[in-house]
Structure 1
Amino acid sequence: MPYFIIERSYAEDVPVPLDAAPDIVLINDDAEVRWLYSFLSVDRRKSYCLYEAPSVEAILDAARLAGLPADVITEVDGRMMPSGQLAAVG
């Protein structure tokens, strides 16, 4: 299944811990997408999330149902390692 990086921008700081995480996972399950992990910007106004999903449309559907932004969605197929080697995403 393809992997995607999702950039999300928020008007307010993202709360940590994210109490809504279990609900987001349930919504994602219904949309057949899997949230692997996220990075949060220092100001807590942006997140960069790694997802596994069948399509961009599935990610957009899950984001809409969860009430989350999905500003930029980029399909990725490898990780560049400090050794210079390409490694699998998952």
Structure 2
Amino acid sequence: MPVFMVERRFADVLEVDAGAAEGINRINGDEDVRWLYSFLSADKRKTYCLYEAPSAEAIRRAAERAGLPADVVVEVTATVRPDGSLQPV
């Protein structure tokens, strides 16, 4: 399944609890999207999230249903390691 990085900008500080995460995961499941993990900026207004999904459009649909922004959605195919090698995602 393709992997995508999603950048989200929030107008307010982001607070996600277990209940909110459960709701997001339920919506994602409906769209065949799997949330792997997220990085949260120090000011809690931006996240960088890694997902498995059939398409960028599936991520956008899930985000819209969950009331989340999806400002940038980019498919990623490899990681660069500290030794300079490329590893497939």
TM-score normalised to structure 1 length: 0.93
Quote the offset at 1:17 in angstroms. Answer: 4.0
Give the structure 1 partner of residue 10 of structure 2: 10
**1:5-84 to 2 correspondences below 5 Å:** 5-17=5-17, 19-84=19-84
What does the per-residue CA deviation read over 1:63-87, in whole Å, with 9 as the maximum and x for residues that have no partner? 0110000000011001101011111
Give SS of 1:20's match. helix
Using the alignment, how far apart are the partners of 1:4 and 1:24 within structure 2?
17
Unaligned runs of 5+ in 1: none
The letter of the residue matching 2:57 is: E
In terms of mean alpha carbon deviation, does 17-26 or 30-39 score higher?
17-26
The letter of the residue matching 1:11 is: A
Using the alignment, how far apart are the partners of 2:18 and 2:11 within structure 1?
16
TM-score normalised to structure 2 length: 0.94
Aligned residues: 89
